């Protein structure tokens, strides 16, 4: 089995853990504050990771260059813009339609990966991604109660546009982070990924900190007051990012994100078997398509 596959599965599991921990902060922090802790409390661990690989792992530090920095800044800003747009999307009464369209992120990653980095897909991998995306959309429709008619009629509405733009910025961040790691020309994915993560998350912590300081100054104090859960989010988020960045460095980002949808399977199984929540036929069909797409991707890529 290729290394990127178990690394991606681990990343998806850790991201699922981070999301679960983040929910504990919803009542104590604003949406922006809950999103910010993933950067603020993650950057020290990202730096420790690089230092550990260098000091104890014997890996040389990559050669810093301008192209790398540009990719990191662009990727970091794209992820922050995605976060802010997502918060804006949730403010609309009919945000469910926009949220569903934001799930087209994997297709947008494939397009942006080709345009920016020249990454290509095999025919079967492309088909697998389409199947998985359809599954994600169906799952989202089932969870939000959005029908096909509503989905189509909402094409011209503002939430739809915001949702598509959300997916584009999230997709861009993934492709740009991969571009940053590859631009180092480093012989070794682990250190290249770790170095990219460290630089990117420091930039994000500073930029988003300034933004929140302007928009929600009180939130900067709150994220420090509620440090226990915030620290847990930061640690799990840092671990998830270490795995994601390594996988992006090793493999086409579209493949990685498609396989990463297994996170939805983890969430679905937990809701059914642990929380005994009822699920509809649309959600089951969505999960079935996601699993089918993942299996096709792994077997035929």
pLDDT digits (tens, 9 = 90+) for 194-245: 999 999 999 999 999 999 999 999 999 999 999 999 999 999 999 999 999 9
Per-residue confidence (pLDDT) for residue 58, from 0 to 100: 93
Both tokens of 73, joined, read 């800044």
Both tokens of 14, joined, read 């850790």
Low-confidence ranges of the chain (pLDDT < 70): 93-97, 99, 146, 150-156, 275
Per-residue confidence (pLDDT) for residue 153, from 0 to 100: 61
Cβ atoms of 219 and 36 within 8 Å: the answer is: yes
DSSP per position, the chain: --THHHHHHHHHHHHHHHHHHHGGGTTTS-HHHHHHHHHHTTHHHHHHHHHHHHHTS-PPPP---HHHHHHHHHHHHHHHHHHHHHHHHTTSTTHHHHHHHHTTHHHHHHHHIIIII-----HHHHHHHHHHHHHHHHHHHHHHT--HHHHHHGGGSHHHHHHHHHHHHHHHHHHHHHHHHHHTT-S-HHHHHHHHHHHHHHHHHHHHHHHHHHH-HHHHHHHHHTHHHHHHHHHHHHHHHHHHHHHHHHS-HHHHHHHHTHHHHHHHHIIIIIS-----HHHHHHHHHHHHHHHHHHHH-
Cβ atoms of 128 and 294 within 8 Å: the answer is: yes
**Domain residue extents for the chain:** 4-300
Per-residue confidence (pLDDT) for residue 122, from 0 to 100: 92
Cβ atoms of 184 and 176 within 8 Å: the answer is: no
Per-residue confidence (pLDDT) for residue 281, from 0 to 100: 84
Per-residue confidence (pLDDT) for residue 150, from 0 to 100: 66
Per-residue confidence (pLDDT) for residue 241, from 0 to 100: 96
Per-residue confidence (pLDDT) for residue 96, from 0 to 100: 66
- State the burial class of residue 238 (Cβ atoms within 10 Å of its Cβ: 0-12, 13-18, 19+): buried
Per-residue confidence (pLDDT) for residue 21, from 0 to 100: 83
57 phi/psi in degrees, rounded to 5: -90, -10
Q: How far apart are the first and last CA of the chain?
A: 12
Per-residue confidence (pLDDT) for residue 275, from 0 to 100: 65
Both tokens of 230, joined, read 């915030």
Of the candidates 61, 66, 50, 83, which has an alpha carbon nearest to the alpha carbon of residue 170?
83
Give the C-alpha separation, 194 to 98, whole Å.
33
């Amino acid at each position: 089995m290729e290394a990127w596959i178990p690394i991606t599965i681990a990343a998806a599991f850790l991201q699922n853990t981070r999301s679960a921990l983040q929910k504990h902060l919803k009542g104590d922090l604003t949406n922006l504050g809950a999103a910010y802790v993933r950067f603020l409390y993650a950057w020290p661990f990202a730096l420790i990771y690089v230092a550990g690989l260098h000091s104890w792992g014997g890996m040389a530090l990559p050669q810093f260059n301008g192209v790398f920095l540009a990719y990191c800044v662009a990727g970091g800003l794209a992820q922050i813009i995605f976060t802010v747009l997502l918060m804006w999307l949730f403010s609309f009464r009919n945000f469910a339609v926009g949220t569903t369209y934001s799930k087209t992120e994997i297709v947008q990653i494939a397009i942006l990966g080709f345009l920016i980095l020249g990454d290509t897909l095999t025919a079967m991998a492309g088909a697998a991604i389409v199947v998985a995306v359809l599954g994600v959309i169906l799952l989202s429709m089932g969870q939000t109660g959005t029908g096909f008619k509503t989905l189509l009629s909402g094409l011209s509405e503002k939430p739809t546009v915001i949702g598509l733009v959300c997916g584009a910025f999230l997709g861009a961040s993934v492709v740009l982070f991969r571009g940053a790691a590859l631009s180092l020309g480093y012989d070794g994915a682990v250190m290249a990924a770790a170095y990219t993560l460290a630089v990117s998350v420091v930039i994000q912590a500073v930029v988003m900190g300034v933004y929140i300081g302007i928009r929600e100054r009180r939130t900067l104090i709150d994220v420090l007051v509620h440090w226990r859960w915030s620290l847990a989010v930061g640690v799990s988020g840092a671990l998830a990012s270490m795995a994601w960045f390594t996988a992006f460095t090793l493999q086409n980002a579209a493949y990685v994100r498609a396989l990463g949808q297994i996170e939805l399977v983890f969430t679905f199984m937990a809701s059914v078997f642990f929380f005994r929540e009822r699920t509809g036929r649309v959600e089951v069909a969505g999960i079935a398509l996601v699993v089918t797409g993942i299996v096709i991707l792994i077997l035929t890529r």
